[in-house]
Structure formats: C-alpha cells, structure tokens
Amino acid sequence: MTLPTIQIGRPQRLAALLLVLFLCECLWVVNSQQLTQTDYRYALCGREMWEKPSPLAGYFTTCGNLHGDGTMAYRVAGLPLTMQRLILLGTDHLRKPENRLYAGGTLNGSTWEARHEIGEVKYLMHLPFIFFAIWLGGGLWWVSRRLFGNEGAFFSLGLYCFCPAVVRFAVMPNNDVLAMWGLYGLVYAAIGVAHALQGPRRKWKPRIGLFVIALGLTATAHLLAAMVGFVAAAFFLMYLAERRRSYVMQILIFSALAALGIVFASYAFRLAPFTYVFTGGGGRFWFSLDGAKAFAELIANAPILVATAVSLLLYFGVKRCRYFGNTTPLLMVLAVFALRTTQTLSFPWLWALPFLFTFVGGVFADALETRQRRMFLVLTGVILVVQALLCLSALPAMAQAI
C-alpha cells in the first residue's frame, strides 16, 4: 500500500505562517499570565483522572463527580503533568539509590508538592489547549479551501487567528474551546460521511469512524455541543445521502452508542460518575442573544462584524452566494449563537465562531470572482489588517484579565 503524498506549496506555507502568528499571540499571553486556582483545579483533577480516578470515597475526583461538566478539559490539562511525573519517575530509577530524589524511587506526592522538580508548569497546562485551537484553525482552513479556494480559506483563517475571543479561550483550561473544536469537526465529518455514502463501500468505514470519534470527544467536552452536532449531522446526512438514506439511521444509532462508550471510557469505566452525564444538566439549554450581544459590543470585534454584515447582504442579495457551502455554516451560526446553558457556565456563542468565519470566507470568495473583485480585495485586506491590529492591542489587557 502506497501512502498518499503530501504536497506543501505556497498556500500551505502561508496558512502555517498565520497559525504560527496565532501561536505567538497565545504564547505571549501565557507568558504574561499567573497561575490561578482554576488552573490548579483543572490540572489536579485531570491528574487524578489519569493516575487515581477515585481519591475520595463516593467521588470521581476531588472536583466531585463533575455535574454537567465535561471530562475532556481536565484530562487535557492533567495529561502533560502526568507524563512529566512518569518521566521524572523513570529518570529517578536510573540514578543510584543514594542519589535518588525520592525515597525508594517513588514519586507518590502531589505534583504541586514536587513543584521544585516540575518545570514550566504554566506552559504544560496551557499548551494543550493552544494545540487544539491551532488544530481547529488548520481544519477551518482545510474545509474552507476545499469549498471556496485559497482566497476564501485565507480570509476565514485570518479572522480566526486574529479573533480576541479565540485567543482568550485558547490560553486557559476550559471545555468551551474543546467543544468548539469538536462541534466544527463533527458537522463536517458528518458531511464527509454523506459524500462517502455516494461512493464505494470501502470509503465508508474511515469516514464513519472519524464521525464516531468526533461525536464521542465532543460529548466528553460538552454534552450540549454533542447534542447540537448530532442533530445537525442527522439533518445533513438525510439531506445529502439521497439514495442511501436507508443507511443513515443505522449510522446514527451505532455512532451514538459508540460515542457513549467513549464518554464511559473518559470516566475510567466507572458507572456511578458516568450516570451524571444524564442527570448533571450539561445538556440543558435555553435561548438568549446575550452572548451574541456581548461579542458585538467589543470594539476589537468590529472588523469581524463588518465582514459579517457585508456577507449577509451579499448572501441574501446575490443569487450566486446562496448555495450549500455557504448555507451550511450560516445555519450552524443561527442555531448555536442563540443558545444559553442553564446548568453550567458555558459559552455556546464561541462554538459558532468557526462556522461564522467559514461563512464569511465563502461569501467573500464568491465576491472576489465578480467584476468588483478589486474593491472586495481591498475591503478584505483592510478588514484583516484592522482586525489584526485590534487583536494585538487587546492582548495586554487579556493577559491581565485572565
């Protein structure tokens, strides 16, 4: 079997440059941060999930049974510290007994008690969330490029990389950035499954497997995001599968069961805390535009709002802009932006941002193919430059606020 060749041309290098700039923004904010009690909570309880799932009788972790809160952020925050602990333990075994740092070559104490041995804790805790944000940026660029071409993809990725809200949530432990990553991947994985159903059966399993993993990981991050993604996946599968619709319900049922298995595994296969997925209220929601209003009131988001307004005018006013590639992200924005969780402190409006950037990039890509290309090219450049400047100017205040 021959592996597919990976071509790295100018588009890939420019996309990588934007993601490197995003990484630099995040690292600058992290470097200016101080560790908070929330950071310690995520890391400590995440470590307990990896190393000792039941430190207190009757509770999954010292954080409790995580009523309505996903396990993924805790595991993501705690994994680097657990790995460093194992490395410290392994290297300690290589020393002579009289030179070992820990009696008997064991590292039984808490990571925080051994902090004189643990290095760069702040970066270890925050880099995984930055990684997921970068991963999402790469996925956003890949989807937009396949749908709209290079120009639309770069505009979408540029808005993403210079969005203050994305940077803010990428530099602190939280489930929302992971739910944002999971929901975007889940929706487009479902669309990929629908397209695969039109082809040979040998292409079905990889796409369905990817969909199952996306659904399961999204559910471990936030139950509501998985519920929204599952309903959206069912809609798009039914719409796109056409002559293969008879397979859709089977795919959805078995995918949901497999995703529950992934969630069960995230609770270390412990039934008692797993039941709180159904009783903790993580999937309860109502409708509110407060999140959208708060996003719109920030001056740093003004260029994004201008781009969105222009895109909506073009979408409803120009027929060539109204097609499935643009309609899909717009529907997801409308569905998610108005959600508000009632039992947990979450920010569903954040989950809508990648879809918003995809929609804007798609409409502007269409506009750049018209006779007014030069005007829209200038508008695109101005929006990106102003957005970048506003985002960079907001970083110092962001580092102090977190």
Residue 131, pLDDT > 90, answer yes
Query: What is the structure's pLDDT at 126?
Result: 93
Mean pLDDT of 256-278: 90
Mean pLDDT of 91-100: 65
Please tell me whether residue 136 adopts helix, strand or coil conformation: helix
Domain shared by 168 and 297, yes or no:
yes
Full residue range of the structural domain in which residue 194 is found: 178-276
Q: How far is CA 331 from the centre of its chain?
A: 19
- 338 pLDDT band (50/70/90 cuts)? very high
pTM: 0.92
Nearest to 18 by CA among 153, 148, 143: 153
Q: Return the DSSP state at 5.
A: P
Residue 2 maps to a domain:
no
Mean pLDDT over all residues of the chain?
88
Residue 379, pLDDT > 80, answer yes
- Name the domain count of the chain: 3
Please tell me whether residue 174 adopts helix, strand or coil conformation: coil
- 48 pLDDT band (50/70/90 cuts)? confident
Query: What is the structure's pLDDT at 188?
Result: 97
- 304 pLDDT band (50/70/90 cuts)? very high
Residue 115, pLDDT > 60, answer no
Query: What is the structure's pLDDT at 112?
Result: 43
Mean pLDDT of 137-165: 96
Query: What is the structure's pLDDT at 9?
Result: 81
pLDDT above 70: percentage of residues in the chain: 88
Nearest to 68 by CA among 280, 295, 300, 297: 280
The set of residues, in sequence order, having a beta carbon less than 8 Å from that of 27 and lying 6+ positions away, is: 130
Domain shared by 153 and 103, yes or no:
no
- Boundary (domain end) residue, out of 255, 276, 297: 276
- 66 pLDDT band (50/70/90 cuts)? low
- Whole-angstrom CA distances from 167 to 15, 333, 396 are 17, 19, 12
- 95 pLDDT band (50/70/90 cuts)? low
Residue 171, pLDDT > 80, answer yes
How would DSSP label each residue in 243-261? GGGGGHHHHHHHHHHHHHH
Residue 135 maps to a domain:
no
Domain shared by 169 and 289, yes or no:
yes
- Whole-angstrom CA distances from 368 to 155, 316, 379 are 11, 17, 10
How would DSSP label each residue in 339-377? EEESSS---HHHHHHHHHHHHHHHHHHHHTTSTTHHHHH
Query: What is the structure's pLDDT at 58?
Result: 58
Residue 387 maps to a domain:
yes
Please tell me whether residue 109 adopts helix, strand or coil conformation: coil
Token digits of residue 213: 């993993």
Element (H, E) at 144: helix 121-148
Q: In this predicted model, what pLDDT tens digit does every residue of 343-356 receive, in sequence order?
A: 888 999 999 999 99
Query: What is the structure's pLDDT at 47?
Result: 87
Query: What is the structure's pLDDT at 1?
Result: 43
Domain shared by 393 and 288, yes or no:
yes
- 372 pLDDT band (50/70/90 cuts)? very high
CA distance linking residue 251 with residue 190, whole number of Å: 10
Domain shared by 57 and 183, yes or no:
no
Domain shared by 192 and 260, yes or no:
yes
Nearest to 187 by CA among 232, 142, 147: 232
More confident position, 236 or 119: 236
Mean pLDDT of 371-395: 95
Least confidently predicted of 39-53, 252-266, 304-318, 384-398: 39-53
Query: What is the structure's pLDDT at 55?
Result: 52
Q: In this predicted model, what pLDDT tens digit does every residue of 198-248 receive, in sequence order?
A: 888 888 999 999 999 999 999 999 999 999 999 999 999 999 988 888 899
Query: What is the structure's pLDDT at 133?
Result: 98
Mean pLDDT of 108-112: 45
- Boundary (domain end) residue, out of 230, 249, 276: 276
More confident position, 59 or 80: 80
8 A C-beta contact, residue 151 and residue 381: no
8 A C-beta contact, residue 89 and residue 106: yes
How would DSSP label each residue in 144-206? HHHHH-HHHHHHHHHHHHT-HHHHHHHTS--SHHHHHHHHHHHHHHHHHHHHHTTS-GGGHHH
Query: What is the structure's pLDDT at 110?
Result: 45
Query: What is the structure's pLDDT at 98?
Result: 57
- 111 pLDDT band (50/70/90 cuts)? very low
Residue 118, pLDDT > 60, answer no
- 101 pLDDT band (50/70/90 cuts)? low
Q: What are the backbone angles phi and psi of residue 285, rounded to the nearest 5°? A: -155, 165
- 109 pLDDT band (50/70/90 cuts)? very low
Residue 125, pLDDT > 70, answer yes
Token digits of residue 356: 């918003």
Domain shared by 189 and 155, yes or no:
no
Query: What is the structure's pLDDT at 382?
Result: 97
Domain shared by 341 and 322, yes or no:
yes
Residue 367 maps to a domain:
yes
Domain shared by 296 and 271, yes or no:
no
Residue 27 maps to a domain:
no
Domain shared by 155 and 265, yes or no:
no
Domain shared by 263 and 342, yes or no:
no
Residue 241 maps to a domain:
yes
- Boundary (domain end) residue, out of 276, 309, 338: 276
Domain shared by 220 and 328, yes or no:
no
Strand partners, 340: 286
Residue 53 maps to a domain:
yes
CA distance linking residue 37 with residue 63, whole number of Å: 12
Which amino acid does the sequence have at 374? Answer: R
Which amino acid does the sequence have at 272? Answer: A
